[in-house]
A and B are shown apart, each in its own frame.
Chain A
C-alpha cells in the first residue's frame, strides 16, 4: 500500500512487499498486476520468484505504515472531528471517521466520499471507501464491498448479506466452524434461528463473538467511536522586521506568549525548545527540560537564557520560536494559606536551573543498589529522571566519606594479624594506634569477574585521631595473584 517512494517498474510487472516470516521472507502485499497473476499475501517470496521470474521485490516497512496511518487518521480530521485508526489483531489497516452531522458541510454524503477519494489520490494514496450507519458495517463494506459503497439504516441488511463471514474479522477457527455449519455469508448467519447459535457461542469473548459483531454492524447494539484527543501544541513565535543577532531581548515576550497559551490549555511544559531561523536558511535550536510541569514565564526565561550562549546566530536571524515539546496537564496551583510557597515546587525549579546549566549528569539523587561492595551501593541518578529513595540499611558502621576508586597504601611495617602498624599513604607516613576488624566482604560471584579477591576491612585510628577505612585485597595463598595489597577506601567522621 504505502511502499517507500522510489522508482518502481511498469504497472504490468508484479511487485510484492516482502516481510520477514518464520521461514524467510514472505509476501506482505501485492500490487494489482501481481494479484491478477494470483500471487497471495503470505506466500514465500522464493516460491513466488520461482514461478514469476520477473517479480520485483521491495522490503515492507510495517511500522512505518502504521505510523503513517496514524498521521493520516489525524489529517482526516479535516472532514470530521472524530477519527480513529482501525485495525484487527494489533495491526492497523484502515481509518474510521464518524461523519455524522458533518456530511452536509461537503454537500452530502456522496460528494463527501468523492472529496475524500480525490484528496487521498492527491496525497498519492489509494483508498477503498465505504459509508454505513455503523462502524462495523463500514469496515466490512470498505474491505469486501464495492468501491464507494453507501448504505443507510434501511438497506444495510441487504448490502451486508452477500459478504462472507470472514468480513466480521473473526479468528480463523471460528470462520472455519461457521463454514462447516454452512453459514458462509452474513445473510445466512442472520437467517438461522438465533437461540441455537447463542448457545454455541455463549462462552466466546465479545470481541470475537460473531453474533455480537453482527449486532454491532447492524446497529442493534451500541458501538461508539473512541477517538484520541488531539495533541496540545503550544508554540510562540516572533518575527523580526530585519535580521538581529541577539535573541535575548525577544525571549521574555516569547515566554509570556507561551505561558499564556499553556494556561489557556491548562497544561504545563516539561520540555522546551527554542529555535532561531537564520537568514542564510539554517536553523539552530536548544532544548531544556523541567523537573515539574511549569508555565511560569520567568522560569522559562531563566532556563532558556543560559542555553542561548551556545547558539550561533550567524549573520542574524529573523524568526524565533519557543515551543513546548512535551506538556502535562497542570491545573492552577494556589499558594498556601499562610502565604508560604510550596517547597516541592521551589526544589523542582532549582533542579531545572541547575540541570540546565550544569548538565543532567552533574545534578543527582542517590539510588541504592543491593550489593556487598561499598562502592557499588550508591548509584547516582539524574535529578530530573528519578526521585529520592530511602537509604539502604547497612548493619555495620560505614565511613562518612568514600574514595572511589580506593587508593593504595604502601606498607612500611606489617604485622602478622590485623592492619599494618606503619603505612604510608599520599606520601605521608602514619602510625596505627588502634584498629577494629576485620569485616570480610566476599566478591559477588554473580557480578564480579572471575579471580576477584575478597576484602578484609579494618577501621584504623592513627596517632592524631583520624580514622581510616583500610582493606586488604586477598589473603596469602588464595591463588588469585601475588601478595595481598592494602587500600584506603574511606574516612570516618
Chain B
C-alpha cells in the first residue's frame, strides 16, 4: 500500500449495497480512452480474453485485434462464432515490433471502437517507452487500447490500469451438477491511476442466473474476494491513513 501511487488520496469506491460487504464495483467497462494491460496469470487461460472482450465498448465499429506469432501458437486464435456482435479486424504478424506498430496505427484511428494487441512473453521492444507511446496515442485519439500479455511477464509498463486475470472454478450448472457452469474469474488490479488497486471475483451478469444483461451499462459483476475483509473497511482504512 505504501508503494502505491494513490497513497494519501481519499479514494471513493462507489456505492456499497449493504449486503455484508458485497459491492458493485466501478468497473472498467465505461470505455476510457487509455491503455490498459491485461496479464494472464496462467498459461493458455482464455479468461483474460473473455474479460477484455466484456470490457470493450458496445459499438458497431470494428475492433482491431493484433496478434504476434508466439501468442497465436500459445493461446490460439480468437474464434469468431464465440464472439457476439464484435466485428474483428485481424492483423496477424510474426514479431512484437509489428504488433506495436499496428497498435499505434490503430490507436490513431477514430473509426475503430477499440484496439487489442496480444504479445506472448517479454520481447525487448515492448518496454516502458513503447507502452508510453501507446498510452499517449490512446489518450489523444480517444480509442481504448488493451494489451493482452501472456507468459511470465513482469516489468514496467505505462498502462493506466494493469489487470491480472485468471480462471476460478466455475459456478454450478443450473441443470447438470457434473458440468461446468457460468465462468468465474479472479481479477486483480495491481496498478491503477486514479483508483485503488484490489482483487475481485468477476462473473458475468445474466449468464446463467436469468438476469438480463441488456439494460445495464456493463455486463460484469465485481465482488470483493471473501476473506479479504469488506470494502467499507478498506475504504475507511484508506481514509484513516490519509488523515
Q: Could you tell me if B81 and A377 are in contact, using CB atoms closer than 8 angstroms?
A: yes
Q: Could you tell me if A350 and B77 are in contact, using CB atoms closer than 8 angstroms?
A: no
State in angstroms the CA–CA spacing of A399 and B49 once bound together: 11
Q: Could you tell me if A401 and B79 are in contact, using CB atoms closer than 8 angstroms?
A: yes
Q: Could you tell me if A362 and B183 are in contact, using CB atoms closer than 8 angstroms?
A: no
The 6 closest A-B pairs by CB, nearest first: A493-B50, A346-B111, A343-B111, A436-B179, A465-B167, A461-B180
A-B pairs with beta carbons under 8 Å apart, 25 shown: A343-B61, A343-B111, A346-B109, A346-B110, A347-B109, A354-B102, A358-B98, A365-B89, A378-B80, A391-B81, A392-B81, A398-B79, A400-B49, A401-B76, A402-B79, A434-B178, A434-B179, A435-B178, A435-B180, A436-B180, A466-B42, A466-B44, A490-B79, A491-B75, A493-B53
What are the residues of chain B within 8 A of A344 when measuring CB–CB?
111
What are the residues of chain A within 8 A of B64 when measuring CB–CB?
350
Interface set of B (CB-CB < 8 Å, partner A): 42-47, 49-51, 53, 61-62, 64, 75-83, 87-93, 98, 101-102, 105-106, 109-112, 166-170, 173, 176, 178-180, 183-184
What are the residues of chain A within 8 A of B92 when measuring CB–CB?
362, 364
State in angstroms the CA–CA spacing of A388 and B214 once bound together: 24
Tell me the smallest distance from the CB of A359 to a CB of chain B, in Å: 9
What are the residues of chain A within 8 A of B170 when measuring CB–CB?
434, 461, 465, 467
> From A492, which residue of chain B is reached at the shortest CB distance?
B46
Tell me the smallest distance from the CB of B109 to a CB of chain A, in Å: 4
Interface set of A (CB-CB < 8 Å, partner B): 340-347, 349-351, 353-354, 357-358, 362-366, 368, 374, 377-378, 380, 383, 388, 391-392, 394, 397-404, 426, 433-436, 459-461, 463-467, 490-493
What are the residues of chain B within 8 A of A404 when measuring CB–CB?
76-77
Tell me the smallest distance from the CB of A368 to a CB of chain B, in Å: 7
Given contacts A343-B111, A354-B91, A434-B178, contact A377 B46 (CB under 8 A): no
| Set B53, B76, B88, B178: member contacting A491, Cβ < 8 A | B76
Given contacts A347-B62, A391-B81, A465-B168, contact A400 B102 (CB under 8 A): no
What are the residues of chain B within 8 A of A349 when measuring CB–CB?
109
State in angstroms the CA–CA spacing of A465 and B80 once bound together: 23
Q: Could you tell me if B110 and A341 are in contact, using CB atoms closer than 8 angstroms?
A: yes
Q: Could you tell me if B102 and A368 are in contact, using CB atoms closer than 8 angstroms?
A: no
Apart from A366-B90, A400-B49, A464-B169, 17 more pairs, CB < 8 Å: A342-B111, A350-B109, A350-B112, A354-B105, A358-B91, A363-B89, A377-B81, A378-B81, A394-B81, A399-B46, A399-B82, A402-B79, A436-B176, A459-B179, A464-B166, A464-B167, A491-B46
State in angstroms the CA–CA spacing of A436 and B64 once bound together: 33
Q: Could you tell me if B180 and A467 are in contact, using CB atoms closer than 8 angstroms?
A: yes
State in angstroms the CA–CA spacing of A255 and B198 once bound together: 53
What are the residues of chain B within 8 A of A464 when measuring CB–CB?
42, 166-167, 169
